Amino acid sequence: MTDERLAGKSLDGVVDGLRARGLRWTPQRRAILRVLEATSGHVTGSEIVDQCRQLDPMTTPSTVYRTLRVLEELGVLQHAHAADGREEFHVRPAAEHGHLQCQSCGSRWEIDRAGAQPTVRSFRRRQGFEVDVSHLTIVGLCAACRRAATATP
Amino acid sequence: MTDERLAGKSLDGVVDGLRARGLRWTPQRRAILRVLEATSGHVTGSEIVDQCRQLDPMTTPSTVYRTLRVLEELGVLQHAHAADGREEFHVRPAAEHGHLQCQSCGSRWEIDRAGAQPTVRSFRRRQGFEVDVSHLTIVGLCAACRRAATATP
DNA sequence: AGCGTTATTGCAACGTGATGCAATAACCAC
DNA sequence: GTGGTTATTGCATCACGTTGCAATAACGCT
């Protein structure tokens, strides 16, 4: 029987990508890919582990985390750290973006290419440093919390 | 005998700061403050725990981490997350700064007020968001690693 | 100095990841 | 299909932090 089709999402090339590097296509990796396919936006590592366990209760964290790193090397996803330091993964080919997170209320916004441009440009100019926008999480105070903070002295 | 003097560093006011909020001045907190006094630049949480254990082998991590958060609320220090998500503390009153870290070689540079300005300004303008520079860690590729990467195709 | 309040401590357990190692199982060649 | 390589898995263990809870000990008051 032919291999089950990995639908859409441009995760298609993963099997070939692995094989091209002498890496292997295992049932565990298939489960992880299935979870990633069903994912939109961001997922934390433990969420991925949990969802894999729904597909296969024998899933162990070390396998998942190791595979996620392999997939990141393949360019299938990218990780970043949220404001609390926990890992978050973006599945490609979502548009590259970073995050803005309010320290006070916890709200989050995406930083798109345009929003990141002044930052990217300034570091490129000043020291030739190329900012990885997808790994970028900027924390601070959002407009609403700022007003709230100054309103009550 | 008078309380041992907490030297320099503007950590002087800590005892009063605690008392003013109904908080207490304990031997454990004294040890942590002593470690922070001896610190220049950045320290990770576990480094602080280790150094406290040298002063008092009974030191437990939970006490240290809880105290660090109290001290952060008092404004004595600030935490950030390094590129790998681990916590790092800056002891004040060091100049507020963020970090630039190369994904490839691991080198780090400080982002000073001037370096952060384009970033801070752009988010303030676009959405009234006030960036917390001291919590900022930007990762990417430094100039040297960039050249190395493009040199070998 | 002694007493009552309640902030703080230490312990135990948990959550999120990383890592070393022996056993397993993909993959390739025949 | 069979067999040999070696990438991968699962397990055990560790590291860094966090949290709930009962016991302790600062602190303010008299």
Sheet of B87-91, strands arranged across = B42-44, B87-91, B77-81
Q: Is the pLDDT at B20 greater than 70, yes or no? A: yes
Q: What CA–CA distance (Å, rounded) separates B50 from B39?
A: 13
In a structure prediction context, what are the per-residue pLDDT tens digits for chain A, which is 153 residues long? 333 333 344 577 899 999 999 999 999 999 999 999 888 878 999 999 999 999 999 999 999 999 999 999 998 999 999 888 999 998 876 678 889 989 888 888 989 999 999 999 999 999 999 999 988 999 999 999 888 877 655
**C1' (C19) to CA (A37) span, angstroms:** 28
pLDDT-above-70 percentage for chain A: 90
Q: Tens digits of per-residue pLDDT, A86-119?
A: 999 988 766 788 899 898 888 889 899 999 999 9
Model-wide pTM > 0.85: no
Q: Tens digits of per-residue pLDDT, B111-144?
A: 999 999 999 999 999 999 999 998 899 999 999 9
Mutate to test the interface with A, among B65, B120, B138 (most CBs of A within 10 A): B138
Average pLDDT of chain A to the nearest whole number: 87
Pairing of strands A87-91, A42-44: antiparallel
Distance from CA of A133 to the nearest CA of B (A): 8
Q: Does B127 touch chain A (CB under 8 A)?
A: yes
Nearest to A40 by CA among A93, A86, A3: A93
Residues near strand D (C-beta below 7 A) are: A 18, 22-24, 26, 28-29, 58-60, 62-63, 66-67, 70; B 18-19, 24-27, 44-46, 61-62, 65-66, 69, 86-87
**C1' (D7) to CA (A14) span, angstroms:** 16
- The residues, any chain, with a CB within 8 Å of residue B16's CB and separated by 6 or more, are none
Distance from CA of A116 to the nearest CA of B (A): 8
Q: Does A68 touch chain B (CB under 8 A)?
A: no
